[in-house]
Each structure stands twice: as C-alpha cells, then as structure tokens.
Homo-oligomer: A and B are copies of this chain.
Amino acid sequence: MRSKVVTREEALTKIKDGQTIMFGDWHGELSAEEIITGMLEKGIQNISAIAVSAGMPDQGVGRLIKEHRVKSIVTTHIGLNPVARDQMFAGELEVEFIPQGTFAERIRCGGAGLGGCLTPTGIGTDVEIGKQKLTINGKDYLLELPLYSDVALIKAWKADTAGNIAFRLTGRATNSYMAFAADIVIVEVEELVEVGELGPEEIDVAAPIIDMVYVRTGEKKPFCLMWQRAKAKAEGGKK
C-alpha cells in the first residue's frame, strides 16, 4: 500500500482561503495544533469552521478565531472562548448554535450519505426556526440536514503509513466521525507505525478514508493552557 505520510507543507497545499473546514477536537483539546500553526503562518483566512466549540483563545480553532481568520462557525458552545463571544457581538464572527447531539448526527449524515435525520432535540425551542417539522407516530421531530466540508482536520494518537488511525480513550471526541465528512481528510498524529502494527480491532478509522497523515514534530501531548493555568492555580491554592 502506498504511504500517505506527508510533510506539513504538503498538507497545507490542500487548505485554502474560503474553505469549509471541520476541526476535530474537544474545546480546543485534542486538535491538530501543528497544522493550525501552519495555517496561521500561511495566512489562511475566510474559513467557515465547523467545530464542537469555539475552542479557547490559545488553542485549536480558537487560535484562528483570535487572528480573525474565521468568518463563521457552526458550533454548540463558545463559553470557553471570550474572544469568539466578543467577535460575535461585534458582528465579526457569524455563529450558528446547534445542539451537540444534532451537531454529531448532522456530521454523521454528511459522512454516511444520508440526506438528513429527524431529531426531537430542539422541539419547542428557537432551534425550530427555519426547519421543517415532521410528525412520526404522534411525536414531533425536526428535519436536520447533513454537514459536509472541504477539509477535515483530525487529531489521532497513532497512524500507520497506509492511513489507518487509532485514538486513545476520549481522544476520539469529534475526530472519529468528522473523518467521514470531508473531501480531504488530514490527520495529525503523535506516533507513526508500520502497516500491521495496529490490529484489526485497534484501528478506529480505516485507511481508505484518510488522505494525508502528518506526524507531529513537537511535544507529543501538550497540556493546554487552560489546564496549565488551572493546575498552577490549584497548586498555588495549596500553599
């Protein structure tokens, strides 16, 4: 099998101004930080982002928001990123809030070739606005449409050279299903292994749907700034 391992520069050739980009992560944790650094350096802008939250100002998609590279975001939560909130109030960042389960299902629909799904989530709330409502067996549901992207930026634990990837514990977060819902899937991993080292049950996303594997060169598992601050505070408090 041909190798899908690329340099960061090669990965960045697929990322362009104005694209819709999914960021696999969890509030900025577990994200493809080195590719994001590359996007900042390359000057990528006008991004339509899809991410479970706006990250944090120093982490994940939050770093791109802070530098005004993101024009809109489809998300479930921006509470950990005051910069995103300020840009939203200032009309600089367009934010579409959707419930988290709906977020997951819409992306899953995009990846699974489904035209949408019916969810009870949001019935009787403002989430209904502009959406078709259907009644099935006497219960109301909203028709939610698929989400799909030009590029998905995925963070995984390990990859093999063929492009199989594996996560550790909650590291799958939103990374696992976003890999199905993009034209180009770029995965940033901590560790590269040979084909065959990941067993049939260890592989979380199969090689054929991964386009590029980038191996992180910096620290393998950096604790994020929020953690570092909270830890410093906790330890300071003990004194």
Nearest CB in chain B: distance from A74 CB, A: 16
Q: Which residues 107-122 of A sit at the B interface, judged by CB distance below 8 A?
A: 109, 112-120
The 0/1 profile, CB within 8 Å of B marked 1, for residues 77-94 of chain A is 000000000000000000
A238 within 8 A of B: no
Nearest CB in chain B: distance from A170 CB, A: 9
**Which residues of B have CB within 8 Å of A134?**
115-116, 143
- Rounded to whole angstroms, the CA-CA distance of A145 and B134 in the bound complex is 12
A1 within 8 A of B: no
**Which residues of B have CB within 8 Å of A113?**
119-120
**Which residues of B have CB within 8 Å of A146?**
136
A105 within 8 A of B: yes
With contact pairs A169-B200, A201-B169 given, residues A116 and B145 touching in the complex (Cβ less than 8 Å): no
Q: How many of A's residues come within 8 Å of B, CB to CB?
A: 23
A214 within 8 A of B: no
The A interface, classified by DSSP as helix, strand, loop or mixed, is mixed
**Which residues of B have CB within 8 Å of A201?**
168-169
A139 within 8 A of B: yes
**Which residues of B have CB within 8 Å of A119?**
113-115
A23 within 8 A of B: no
Contact call A116/B115, Cβ cutoff below 8 A: no
**Which residues of B have CB within 8 Å of A168?**
201
Q: Which of B112, B115, B141 contacts A115 (CB 8 A)?
A: B141
- Rounded to whole angstroms, the CA-CA distance of A118 and B142 in the bound complex is 13
13 inter-chain pairs at a CB distance below 8 angstroms, sorted by A residue, are A105-B112, A109-B117, A113-B120, A114-B117, A115-B118, A115-B120, A115-B137, A115-B139, A116-B117, A116-B136, A134-B143, A168-B201, A169-B200
Using a CB–CB cutoff of 8 Å, the interface residues on chain A facing chain B are 105, 109, 112-120, 134, 136-137, 139, 141, 143, 145-146, 168-169, 200-201
